A = this chain, B = another copy of it.
Amino acid sequence: MARKIAILGGTGAEGTGLANRLARAGEHVVIGSRDAVRAQEAAAKLRGEIGGSAQVEGADNAGAAAQCDVALLTVPFAGQAALLKSLKSIWKPGTVVIDTTVPLMAAVGGAPSRMLGVWQGSAAEAAAELLPAGVPIAAAFHNLSAELLAGDAPVECDVLVCSDDEKAKQVASELATKIPGVRAINGGKLENARIVESMTALLIGLNIRHKVHSAGIRFTGLPL
A residues in contact (CB < 8 Å) with B: 113-115, 145, 148, 156-157, 160, 185-188, 191-192, 194-196, 198-199, 201-203, 205-206, 209-210, 212, 214-223
Contact = CB atoms under 8 A, between A and B. Distances in A.
Contacts of A205: 187-188, 192
Given A188-B113, A217-B217, A222 B206 contact: yes
A196 B217 CA distance: 13
Contact of A221 (B115, B145, B198, B219): B145
Nearest to A160: B202
Contacts of A195: 115, 195, 198-199, 201-202
The A interface is mostly helix, strand or loop, or mixed, namely: mixed
Instruction: Name, among A195, A214, A221, the residue most crowded by chain B CB atoms within 10 Å (CB to CB).
Output: A221
Contacts of A156: 220-221
Given A113-B188, A216-B221, A218-B219, 17 more contacts: A113-B192, A148-B221, A156-B220, A187-B202, A187-B206, A192-B202, A194-B198, A195-B201, A210-B222, A212-B222, A214-B221, A214-B222, A215-B220, A216-B219, A216-B220, A217-B217, A217-B218
5 closest A-B pairs by CB = A214-B221, A156-B220, A216-B220, A218-B218, A195-B202
A221 B201 CA distance: 15
